[in-house]
Amino acid sequence: MQPFCKGRYRARLAETPGDLRESQRLRWLAFVARTGRSDDGQSLDADHLDDDCRHMLIHDLRDDRLVCSFRFLPLADGSQIARSYSAQFYDLAALGRFDGPMVEMGRFCLYPDCHDPDVIRLAWGALTRFIEETGVEMLFGCSSFSGLDPETHAEAFAMLKDRHLAPRRWWPRVKAPTVFRFARALRLRQPDPRRAAETMPPLLRSYLAMGGWVSDHAVVDPALMTMHVFTGVEIRAIPPARRRLLHALAQQPA
């Protein structure tokens, strides 16, 4: 995928070990520094999947600062899903039957003081360009809620339970030792749509706007002080208007 720009931002794939370290430093700032965990002196967030993934970097052209990064793991089909990050936390046996190309998107993060919506637009444009160029048919990953108190996000969880649970044929089952089974716990709760939207993570809102769906439970991650839900998007099921918007973002001139 060739680099391309939107406004003052430029998206490109990591090409060197230095590019990867730059992404890992931003991930550490976004995911680890805020938890107060002690630093090992490296200030890097890294794991064994980094070598198997492609890494997208978005820089501010004014000062060449990295303001956003994420990684994606291409899979030939569902038979390879055990390689994914998500498979550590969810029983994805049902998705093992998916017969088309898949990509797992993960470690999506922004520089802490970056709030420019153009960055998010460029990120989705870059991902869309990759999907269109490679023929991906399923996008999936983990969408995180900050904190460990389910009540803080009860309205959002209730909305997910009411409108966005996975199709039975792809149903992610429990695997992690500590989960919040929100579909069961909140089965009688009717969500307030406004309050649900306010507490829904922005990345998850984007997935849902594309027709995405989630697991019926959230995995509790005390190390990163988050709860996350498995999230999937079947590319052919993206609503036409949203598909046109994503395609337009992917066609930004280089």
Q: What is the pLDDT of residues 127-176, one digit of tens each?
A: 999 999 999 999 999 999 999 999 999 999 999 999 999 999 999 999 99
pLDDT category at 80 given cuts 50, 70, 90 is: very high
The number of beta carbons lying within 10 Å of the beta carbon of residue 112 is 12
CA distances from 132 to 13, 166, 239 (A): 16, 24, 16
DSSP class of residue 191?
P
Q: Where are the alpha helices (DSSP H) in the chain?
A: 17-27, 117-134, 154-163, 182-185, 193-199, 202-209, 240-250
- pLDDT for position 254: 47
Average pLDDT (213-223) is 96
Of residues 34, 22, 97, 126, the one with CA closest to residue 66: 22
Of residues 74, 150, 67, 148, the one with CA closest to residue 106: 74
Q: pTM of the prediction?
A: 0.93
Please give the backbone phi and psi of residue 166, each rounded to the nearest 5 degrees, phi first: -60, 150
Please give the backbone phi and psi of residue 172, each rounded to the nearest 5 degrees, phi first: -80, 130
- pLDDT for position 106: 96
